[in-house]
């Protein structure tokens, strides 16, 4: 006599690799699945880094060339022509200290904001936690940040030996630089996945984000110091969550007060953006194939 099969409900949870449920709650983010698929995360990190400058002559050297030429242009235009103050700091070092953290944030935001549209083909064929894709972008951009940070350190060491005006916060650099990377990653990832979720229905956000990041850069003290902003407009710059990370990074190496209150505000905004982004991303990923 053939025994009757056990009903599916009677099988233990450990019997299944994946359990698909018809309804999930807003706070059911499946973050444990990201850890289970961590090997795939590192594969995407490798893909993102290698594919950026594949079949180019200079390859990863572009990570040096782009900020270096941008800094040279800023130095000629804003210091040489417009006579914008750098608070007595060497212009090359002043601009690099602003561009190095900004480039990491902007790259995370630009690339994660197109997650659903750019990966619709692979998303529609196989299951894996969709959050792995924007996370891989954030992690792979750390490599880009590290390369540009080395460029900044080269100029920093040179000016440190020739310019007595620099007053680095040696005791805080090792602690705050990793914290700033996490903060900028959270801001970029949170904003990016919110925009990515909206672009599944409204493609206008694809064009808006590129334009908005350019405008946001001029609303961040990268090409000018905070001292150059009139008092009545200063609150607008301080409301920018990237102002405190950029000012902190610059103060750590060039000297000056650390904007602790601004950092607290940036952390609060970053945490709120990241939580809201995860919630809306988790909601949209269930049905985005119907609208992409």
pLDDT digits (tens, 9 = 90+) for 22-73: 555 555 666 778 888 889 999 999 888 777 777 666 667 777 888 889 999 9
Handedness of CA 138, 144, 146, 148 (dihedral sign): negative
Q: Is 255 exposed, middle or buried (0-12, 13-18, 19+ CB in 10 A)?
A: middle
Least confident stretch, 29-43, 87-101, 150-164, 180-194 = 29-43
pLDDT at 148 (0 to 100): 92
Instruction: Locate the DSSP E strands across 95-176.
Output: none
Q: How many other C-beta atoms lie within 10 A of the C-beta of residue 74? A: 23
CA dist 292 and 281 (Å) reads: 14
pLDDT digits (tens, 9 = 90+) for 146-175: 999 999 999 999 999 887 688 999 999 999
Q: What angle do CA 248, 254, 260 make, to 5 degrees?
A: 25
Give the domain ranges of the chain: 40-290
Q: Characterize 224-248 residue by residue with b for buried, 16 or more Cβ atoms within 10 angstroms of its Cβ, and e for exposed.
A: bbbeeeeeeeeeebbebbbbbbbbb
CA dist 48 and 225 (Å) reads: 34
CA dist 112 and 48 (Å) reads: 12
pLDDT at 28 (0 to 100): 62
- Give me the percent of the chain exceeding a pLDDT of 70: 85
pLDDT at 24 (0 to 100): 56
């Amino acid at each position: 006599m053939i025994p009757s099969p056990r009903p599916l409900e009677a099988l233990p949870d450990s019997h299944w690799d994946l359990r698909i449920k018809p309804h999930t709650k807003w706070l059911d983010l499946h973050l444990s699945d990201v850890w289970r698929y961590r090997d795939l995360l590192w594969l995407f990190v490798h893909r993102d880094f290698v594919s950026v400058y594949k079949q180019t002559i200079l390859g990863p050297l572009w990570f040096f060339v782009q900020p270096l030429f941008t800094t040279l242009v800023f130095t000629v235009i804003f210091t040489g022509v417009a006579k914008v103050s750098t608070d007595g700091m060497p212009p090359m070092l002043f601009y690099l200290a602003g561009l190095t953290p900004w480039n990491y944030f902007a790259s995370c935001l630009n690339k994660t904001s197109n997650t659903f549209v750019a990966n619709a083909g692979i998303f529609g064929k196989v299951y894996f936690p969709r959050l792995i894709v924007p996370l891989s972008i954030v992690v792979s951009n750390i490599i880009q940040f590290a390369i540009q940070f080395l460029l900044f350190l080269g100029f920093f060491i040179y000016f440190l030996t020739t310019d007595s005006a620099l007053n680095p916060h040696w005791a805080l650099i090792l602690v705050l630089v990793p914290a700033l990377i996490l903060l900028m990653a959270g801001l970029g990832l949170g904003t990016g996945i919110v925009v990515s979720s909206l672009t599944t229905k409204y493609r206008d956000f694809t064009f808006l984000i590129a334009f908005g990041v350019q405008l946001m850069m001029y609303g961040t003290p990268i090409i000018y110091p905070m001292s150059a902003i009139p008092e009545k407009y200063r609150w607008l710059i301080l409301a920018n969550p990237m102002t405190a990370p950029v000012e902190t990074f610059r103060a750590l190496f060039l000297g000056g007060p650390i904007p602790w209150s601004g950092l607290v505000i940036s952390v609060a905004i970053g945490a709120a953006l990241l939580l809201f982004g995860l919630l809306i991303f988790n909601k949209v990923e269930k049905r985005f194939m119907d609208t992409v």
